[in-house]
Chains A and B, each alone.
Chain A
Amino acid sequence: MLDYAWLILAFPALGTLIIAFFGTRLGRRAVGFLAPAMVFLSFAVAVALFMELLGLPAEERQHELVLWQWMAAASGPGATGSFNVDIALLIDQLSVTMALVVTGVGFLIHVYSAGYMHDDPRHPRYFAFLNLFILMMSTLILANNYLLMFVGWEGVGLASYLLIGFWFEKPSAADAGKKAFIVNRIGDFGLLLAIMIIWTGLGTLQFTEVSKALQGFQVPGTLEVPGTFGSGALSLTAIRAATLLMLLAATGKSAQIPLFVWLPDAMEGPTPVSALIHAATMVTAGVYMIARSAALFDLAPVTGEWVAWIGMATAFVAGTIALTQTDLKRILAYSTVSQLGFMFVAVGVGAYAAGIFHLMTHAFFKALLFLGAGSVMHALHGELDIRKMGNLRTKLPITYWTFLAGAAALAGIPLLSGFFSKDAILFYAFEHAIPLWVAGIITAFITAFYSFRMVFMTFWGQERDKKLHSHAHESPRVMTVPLILLATGAVVAGYVGLPSISAIDAWLEPVFHAGEHAAEGVAHNLTLEMILLAVSALVALGGAFLAYRAYIADRDLPKRARAAFGPLTGLVENKYYVDEAYNLLIVEPLRALGEWLAATFDKRGLDGAVNGIAGLTGWAGAQVRRLQTGMVGLYALAMLFGAVALAAWLVTR
């Protein structure tokens, strides 16, 4: 079965092609069935792979599948300086886990989309893009080398651009698509440079080869790697540079400081797109890549420190912004940025399994929340301002209950999935550095508060807009069934990572610490973990209670809080003026430079050269035309002279 892993890629690829070429002829029903079916088949393959891996002993749970040779610049088999990259897949615990999440959650979102996008005039195009996205994301996570991963990395960037700007008639949507693409490109160049460094140092781009080459080295000193290209050594400085560049790439794709600005704007796309791209799959690519490069990051603790603190800062900043937003989807967007920050903290402190665990639970509850928001939006004819909602729980019971489950999981209410995964991260943060944990706990409090602010503002209290409220109606089954399934996932997914008997840790650990470290990481201090668990449970409940006080019991509290914080409120409400700062510092200077170049270089230089050549030719023609007198005698004379001159030349030469 492991040799059929390529089917995960083949199904969405087939779906993309069929829908792209025959989508309009097939009709809405067929497309709405075909696209989810393709993703479901991929999911089925992923499940089969997972089952097979489970049946194998831990050491054998790694399978490379070479599909075909991609590029080869070999000077002989295995020769130094040879550059060989294959289209090959790596099936191991990490990639299968990711594939399960991507195709599973992706399938539910496809089903939901079939209902949500039913009346869109560009229905087939939407599903072609959606399948393309799944194809690219699967390429990213199943690739066995950095270069093929980069193809998927760029591919999801492209697909997200297409999907965010899907309603391109709206200038804001088109702009958001461009912004996402350009901001991502900044990160992508970092990844490309990191890949070059890795290849120059190690002579291979294959994940397994890289970690094998780096195995057994300790942090101080230079690594002598035998039989590789160039100097045959990857110095620690080079590793640090490579990991920092990867961090740049990850901040772009996973929306961290300083490149997080694209994600909130990306909410211009259709809501299921936000659920798929900006919650469950694409944004987690950065976390996945860092986890996949664990061998490198373990040797660069400085970068790990950076990753953790950038993640923490992002989690806090985005969390505070989410407190003040009034657009339901934007709250979720900032919440996503904030949760991704938590995952960065995890991979930064070396708790890769905890990061992937949170990635997985987050995929469930955040996709659920986004789809729930889509359902609310559907019911209210596109209204997303939570200040106009209220008391919707009677009108939208299924949406309410599922949304509540998602919000509670996000808030970290005990015994739901988010509780366990966030707690795992906070535990490792505590072991790493106490300040990191303190910041994490504060952010967790903020998270709980804004999660329940959403719930209370939207579904509880009095209806604020009577007209909207009276027209509200529950979504069709094709939309509510995915919500229910995701809600189930959001509730129970946490149980694969219970403290101290964490199944997911044991499952993933061999990927990150091949060989020697395996036993070390598992030794938990159970008492400490239980204490921390209790603290975060209290914090989550406290946040929820405060939200209840502020938005249900004591309505004036938000106003008083606003007054108490004074100018700080304005700062946060305006998202710390990050967009404005980027505009002022980067966009405007670049635009000015562009305008200057257009005026001087382009208009005068290039246009001048082109027009100058045209003018010169015209002037020469005007001079030469005088020869054409129209007097036949003169022509005859010229001919005669010519003939005489020719004859003279022939005779005298």
Chain B
Amino acid sequence: MVPTTYYLILSAVLFTLGALGVVLRRNVLIIFMSVEMMLNAVNLTFAALARHFLQLHGQIFVLMAMAVAAAEVAVGLAIVMAVVRHKDSTNVQDINLLKG
């Protein structure tokens, strides 16, 4: 059986990659995908720890997070569509209406 530590390390790596992607990338779709990656890294942790402690709470959290993520994707992609139609760009640096 694969030790739980491995899952956690993988999860940490995925989360960091996702976070770096969110911070460093400019393309709004890539940032969006990075966010999904962070979510799934967390999901992995939940699942791994649920297996480790032999408890179902973690698994249920995963399902929950996936449902929320699905909804979030629907809303997020709609926003992206609207922005693209408006600005004809997917670069987040062009979306700066809130600049003080």
Pick from B24, B97, B100: contact of A626, CB under 8 Å: B100
Contact B100 A632 (CB under 8 A): no
Name the residue of chain A whose CB is nearest to the CB of B96: A630
Chain A residues whose C-beta falls within 8 Å of the C-beta of B99 in the assembled complex: 628-630
Find residues 1-50 in chain B having any chain A CB closer than 8 Å to their own CB.
19, 22-24, 26, 31
Bound Cα distance from A636 to B19, whole angstroms: 9
B85-100: CB near A (< 8 Å → 1, else 0) gives 0000000110111111
Contact B100 A627 (CB under 8 A): yes
Q: How far is the CB of B79 from chain A (nearest CB, A)?
A: 12
Name the residue of chain A whose CB is nearest to the CB of B21: A636
Known: A640-B19, A640-B23. Is A631-B93 also a contact (CB below 8 A)?
Answer: yes
Contact A630 B98 (CB under 8 A): yes
Chain A residues whose C-beta falls within 8 Å of the C-beta of B98 in the assembled complex: 628, 630
Pick from B22, B24, B31, B96: contact of A631, CB under 8 Å: B96
Name the residue of chain B whose CB is nearest to the CB of A643: B19
Chain A residues whose C-beta falls within 8 Å of the C-beta of B92 in the assembled complex: 631-633
Chain B residues whose C-beta falls within 8 Å of the C-beta of A631 in the assembled complex: 92-93, 96
Q: How far is the CB of B68 from chain A (nearest CB, A)?
A: 18
Bound Cα distance from A495 to B24, whole angstroms: 113
Contact B23 A636 (CB under 8 A): yes
Q: How far is the CB of B22 from chain A (nearest CB, A)?
A: 5
Chain A residues whose C-beta falls within 8 Å of the C-beta of B23 in the assembled complex: 633, 636-637, 640
Q: Is A625's beta carbon under 8 Å from chain B?
A: yes
> How many residues of chain B get a CB closer than 8 Å to chain A's CBs?
14
Bound Cα distance from A633 to B30, whole angstroms: 12
Contact A636 B22 (CB under 8 A): yes
Chain B residues whose C-beta falls within 8 Å of the C-beta of A628 in the assembled complex: 98-100
Q: How far is the CB of B72 from chain A (nearest CB, A)?
A: 16
Name the residue of chain B whose CB is nearest to the CB of A628: B100
Q: How far is the CB of A14 from chain B (nearest CB, A)?
A: 66
Chain B residues whose C-beta falls within 8 Å of the C-beta of A640 in the assembled complex: 19, 22-23
Pick from A625, A627, A630: contact of B97, CB under 8 Å: A630
Chain B residues whose C-beta falls within 8 Å of the C-beta of A632 in the assembled complex: 31, 92-93, 95-96
Q: How far is the CB of A82 from chain B (nearest CB, A)?
A: 66
Q: How far is the CB of B64 from chain A (nearest CB, A)?
A: 20
Chain A residues whose C-beta falls within 8 Å of the C-beta of B31 in the assembled complex: 632, 636
Chain B residues whose C-beta falls within 8 Å of the C-beta of A630 in the assembled complex: 96-100
Chain B residues whose C-beta falls within 8 Å of the C-beta of A627 in the assembled complex: 100
Find residues 600-625 in chain A having any chain B CB closer than 8 Å to their own CB.
624-625
Q: How far is the CB of B82 from chain A (nearest CB, A)?
A: 15
Bound Cα distance from A637 to B22, whole angstroms: 8
Bound Cα distance from A632 to B99, whole angstroms: 10
Bound Cα distance from A631 to B96, whole angstroms: 6
Bound Cα distance from A630 to B98, whole angstroms: 5
Known: A631-B93, A633-B92, A640-B19. Is A625-B26 also a contact (CB below 8 A)?
Answer: no
Bound Cα distance from A624 to B19, whole angstroms: 27
Find residues 27-44 in chain A having any chain B CB closer than 8 Å to their own CB.
none
Bound Cα distance from A625 to B99, whole angstroms: 8
Bound Cα distance from A640 to B23, whole angstroms: 8
Chain A residues whose C-beta falls within 8 Å of the C-beta of B96 in the assembled complex: 629-632
Chain B residues whose C-beta falls within 8 Å of the C-beta of A633 in the assembled complex: 23-24, 26, 92-93
Chain B residues whose C-beta falls within 8 Å of the C-beta of A629 in the assembled complex: 96, 99-100
Chain A residues whose C-beta falls within 8 Å of the C-beta of B24 in the assembled complex: 633
Q: How far is the CB of B35 from chain A (nearest CB, A)?
A: 9
Name the residue of chain B whose CB is nearest to the CB of A626: B100
Contact B93 A625 (CB under 8 A): no
Q: How far is the CB of B100 from chain A (nearest CB, A)?
A: 3
Bound Cα distance from A640 to B19, whole angstroms: 8
Find residues 57-100 in chain B having any chain A CB closer than 8 Å to their own CB.
92-93, 95-100
Bound Cα distance from A636 to B96, whole angstroms: 14
Contact A625 B100 (CB under 8 A): yes
Find residues 338-369 in chain A having any chain B CB closer than 8 Å to their own CB.
none
Chain B residues whose C-beta falls within 8 Å of the C-beta of A626 in the assembled complex: 100
Q: How far is the CB of B38 from chain A (nearest CB, A)?
A: 10
Bound Cα distance from A626 to B100, whole angstroms: 6
Bound Cα distance from A630 to B94, whole angstroms: 9
Max count, chain A CB within 10 A of own CB: residue among B19, B24, B31: B19
Q: How far is the CB of B87 from chain A (nearest CB, A)?
A: 13
Q: How far is the CB of B37 from chain A (nearest CB, A)?
A: 14
Chain A residues whose C-beta falls within 8 Å of the C-beta of B93 in the assembled complex: 631-633
Q: How far is the CB of B21 from chain A (nearest CB, A)?
A: 10
Q: How far is the CB of A469 from chain B (nearest CB, A)?
A: 83
A424-435: CB near B (< 8 Å → 1, else 0) gives 000000000000
Chain B residues whose C-beta falls within 8 Å of the C-beta of A625 in the assembled complex: 100
Name the residue of chain A whose CB is nearest to the CB of B25: A633
Find residues 624-652 in chain A having any chain B CB closer than 8 Å to their own CB.
624-633, 636-637, 640
Q: How far is the CB of A258 from chain B (nearest CB, A)?
A: 67
Chain A residues whose C-beta falls within 8 Å of the C-beta of B26 in the assembled complex: 633
Name the residue of chain B whose CB is nearest to the CB of A624: B100
Name the residue of chain A whose CB is nearest to the CB of B95: A632
Bound Cα distance from A277 to B95, whole angstroms: 78
Bound Cα distance from A627 to B31, whole angstroms: 22
- 5 A-B pairs (CB sep. < 8 Å): A628-B100, A630-B96, A633-B92, A636-B22, A636-B23
Q: Residues of B at under 8 Å CB distance from A? A: 19, 22-24, 26, 31, 92-93, 95-100
Q: Residues of A at under 8 Å CB distance from B? A: 624-633, 636-637, 640
Q: Which 9 A-B pairs have the closest CB atoms?
A: A630-B99, A630-B96, A628-B100, A625-B100, A632-B92, A637-B23, A636-B22, A636-B23, A630-B98
Give 18 A-B pairs besides A629-B96, A636-B23, A636-B31 with Cβ atoms closer than 8 angstroms.
A624-B100, A625-B100, A626-B100, A628-B98, A628-B100, A630-B96, A630-B97, A630-B98, A630-B99, A631-B96, A632-B93, A632-B95, A632-B96, A633-B24, A633-B26, A633-B92, A637-B23, A640-B22
